[in-house]
Amino acid sequence: MANRGGAPKESAVVIGGGIVGVCCALYLQRSGYSVTLVDPEAPGNSTAKWSCGQMAVSEVIPLSKPGILMKVPGWLMDQKGPLALRPSALPGIIPWFFRFLMCARHSKIVDIAQAMATLTHEVYADYAPLLDACEDKALMGERPILEVFDNPAGITHEQSHLDLRTSLGFKSQRLNAREIGDLEPALAGRFAHGLLFPDWRAVSDTEGFIAALTESFVAQGGRRVRTEVVRIEEAHGRATGVTLADAQRLPASVVVVAAGTGSRRFFGALGVSVPLEGIAGYQAVVKNPGVEIRHSTIYADGGFCFSPMTRGLQIGGTIEFAGHDAKPNFKRADIILEKAKRVLPELQTGAVEYGVGYRPFLPDTKPIIDRSRRLQNVLMAFGHGQLGLTLGATTGRLIADMAAGRQTKQDLTPFSAYRFF
């Protein structure tokens, strides 16, 4: 709601300062709200920091692909694979996994991909005004993304999904050995089969990207409070604000819950029952790699990605179903490095930083972008899985439209918090 005639601005509190939260805060700010962003971590230190940094606009196919059930025994037995399932997590994750398997039907995959595409087609247009307001104009790179395979069978296996992406308006180009070598000299002679995604981009530093957007938010009058929200306050069916860990109360006319897996603590207040799981994604940042990788490059058969960033070469992508409150298993990051050195024997791993991000996944791989039916002025923006960075700005724009009572450009029915009841 715009501020007219000198009237006091309406206030909004955003719970969660990761990429989705800060984008929601920025778009609410652009709509005229006085916004407070609350997060216990430093700006940039969030789940998206430990991601491959890609604007994966055509990554609309859910994880639940046909044949997934047959892979579960392998995940339990092989803890060195690109996707692992800790045996200790199995009992608690069974209900979630059953829902996940229900999304493996072809018709369901098409429905999910079509819904996700309505969001991902808007990514660059939605980020543009936010990035224009940042001092650093090179936060998002211009180079496309590569994907390389050990043999042509990998591409053949993915062909139906590539065709679905093409039907939804996304581009891909098949690459041979010469073309891969021309684009990425460090991989010359090592791969003869690949794909180029010309409509994908990568950020130069995942941590710095979020921190820069946060700095822009504060520079434009926003407030960021480094603490936890312990409770959403309410009266007469509406939220009146939030209470912080130090007992301070922040009044608000709008509250946005955008705290990733941390959003679970507010489900009672929101009146929702959502099967939200945190799936661990491990990364290793090689500070002085001794080899140049020019493009963010997915190694499909290895199950990881090389992501060149300002703070080093980030290598990661392996994921693990570990269960609630499980401690990180950084041996999985060691596994990534071992595989990376097989591809790049000259890789220098003397200075390495490990990290893990708990991707907030829902069984159908779609986020929740919705309004609480119990507290009408509380909006929900979580469950983006591996697409938090990609969909941050688009989610922020939609949340601001909902807060201001504007008709959203996209149909948000597929992203309802109540679709699991």
Extents of the domains making up the chain = 1-64+110-138+202-275+364-421, 68-109+139-201+276-361
Supply the DSSP string of 61-79, one letter for each residue. Answer: S-S--TTHHHHHHHHHH-T
pLDDT for the residue numbered 72? 65
From 6-20, 247-261, 356-370, the region with the lowest mean pLDDT: 6-20
| CA 408 vs CA 23, 159, 396, 399: distances in Å | 16, 33, 12, 9
Q: How many CB atoms lie within 10 A of CB 135?
A: 9
CB-based contact 357:260 (threshold 8 Å): no
Predicted model pTM: 0.94
Residue 34 has pLDDT above 90, yes or no: yes
Least Cα distance to 327 among 24, 89, 46, 76 occurs for 89
pLDDT for the residue numbered 5? 43
Residue 2 binned pLDDT confidence (cut-offs 50, 70, 90): very low
Least Cα distance to 290 among 346, 353, 350 occurs for 346
Residue 324 binned pLDDT confidence (cut-offs 50, 70, 90): confident
pLDDT for the residue numbered 8? 64
pLDDT for the residue numbered 63? 84
Average pLDDT, the chain: 93
Residue 12 has pLDDT above 80, yes or no: yes
Q: Which CATH number applies to 68-109+139-201+276-361: 3.40.50.1100, 3.40.190.10, 3.90.10.10, 3.30.9.10? A: 3.30.9.10
Residue 323 has pLDDT above 90, yes or no: no
With a pLDDT cut of 90, the percent of the chain lying above it is 80
CB-based contact 301:149 (threshold 8 Å): yes
C-alpha 27/C-alpha 129 separation (Å) is 10
Looking at residues 313-317, what average pLDDT do you find? 91
Looking at residues 161-171, what average pLDDT do you find? 97
**Domain 1-64+110-138+202-275+364-421 CATH assignment equals 3.50.50.60:** yes
Q: What does the block give as tokens for 135? A: 């001092």
pLDDT tens sequence across 206-242? 999 999 999 999 999 999 999 999 999 999 999 999 9
